[in-house]
Amino acid sequence: MVRGRISRLSVRDVRFPTSLGGHGSDAMHTDPDYSAAYVVIETDAEDGIKGCGITFTLGKGTEVDWSRKGRGAPGDSGRPKRGVGLVGQAGGKACLEVTCGHEKQMLAQGYPAYTTSCAWLGYSDDTLKQLCAQALKDGWTRFKVKVGTDLQDDMRRCQIIRDMIGPEKTLMMDANQRWDVPEAVEWMSKLAKFKPLWIEEPTSPDDILGHATISKALVPLGIGIATGEQCHNRVIFKQLLQAKALQFLQIDSCRLGSVNENLSVLLMAKKFEIPVCPHAGGVGLCELVQHLIIFDYISVSASLENRVCEYVDHLHEHFKYPVMIQRASYMPPKDPGYSTEMKEESVKKHQYPDGEVWKKLLPAQEN
Query: Quick one: which of 364, 341, 344 has its CA closest to 52?
Result: 341
CB atoms within 10 A of CB 293: 26
Cis peptide before 220 (omega within 30 of 0): no
Across the range 167-190, mean pLDDT stands at 97
| pLDDT average, residue stretch 43-54 | 87
Q: Is the pLDDT of residue 2 over 80?
A: no
- The model's confidence at residue 326, banded by pLDDT at 50, 70 and 90, is very high
Catalytic residues: 146, 279
- As a whole number of angstroms, the distance between CA 324 and CA 311 comes to 11
Pairing of strands 111-119, 224-227: unpaired
- Residue predicted with more confidence, 51 or 199: 199
Q: Is pLDDT at 353 greater than 50 in this prediction? A: yes
- Kindly state the percentage of the chain with pLDDT values over 90: 69
Cα→Cα distances 140→65, 120, 144, 310, 324, Å: 35, 16, 11, 12, 15
What does the alpha-carbon distance between residue 272 and residue 223 come to, in Å, rounded to a whole number?
19
Which pLDDT belongs to residue 3? 67
d(CA 210, CA 178): 13
CB 183 within 8 Å of CB 189: no
> In this predicted structure, which of 159-163, 256-260, 300-304, 349-353 has the lowest mean pLDDT?
256-260
In the chain, how many H helices and how many E strands?
11, 12
Secondary-structure percent of the chain, ordered helix, strand, coil, rounded to 5: 40, 20, 40
* Residue 290 near residue 111, CB atoms below 8 Å: yes
Q: What percent of the chain has pLDDT over 70?
A: 88
**Minimum mean pLDDT among 3-7, 169-173, 360-364: which range?**
3-7
Band (4; pLDDT cuts 50, 70, 90) = confident
Read off the pLDDT of residues 84-128 as tens digits, 9 standing for 90 and up.
333 443 333 333 444 467 788 888 899 999 999 999 999 999 999
Q: For the chain, how big is the Rg over CA atoms in Å?
A: 20
pLDDT at residue 91 in the model? 36
Are residues 309 and 280 in contact, defined by beta-carbon separation less than 8 angstroms?
yes
Q: How far is CA 45 from the centre of its chain?
A: 33
Mean pLDDT of 279-302: 94
Q: 50-57 and 142-146 as β-strands: parallel, antiparallel, unpaired? A: unpaired
pTM as predicted: 0.89
pLDDT of residue 65: 56
Say yes or no to pLDDT of 351 above 70: yes
Q: What is the CA angle 186-141-22, rounded to 5?
A: 65
54 closest CA partner among 280, 260, 237: 280
Confidence of residue 28 (pLDDT cuts 50, 70, 90): confident
In whole numbers, what is the pLDDT of the chain averaged over residues?
88
CATH numbers and ranges of domains, the chain = 6-66+85-93+344-361 (3.30.390.10), 99-331 (3.20.20.120)
Other beta carbons less than 10 A from residue 282's beta carbon:
27
Neighbours of 81 (CB within 10 A): 23
- Give the whole-angstrom CA distance, residue 316 versus residue 323: 7
Rounded to 5°, angle at Cα 282 from 278 and 206: 55
CA dihedral angle for residue 62, residue 65, residue 66, residue 70, rounded to 10 degrees: 180
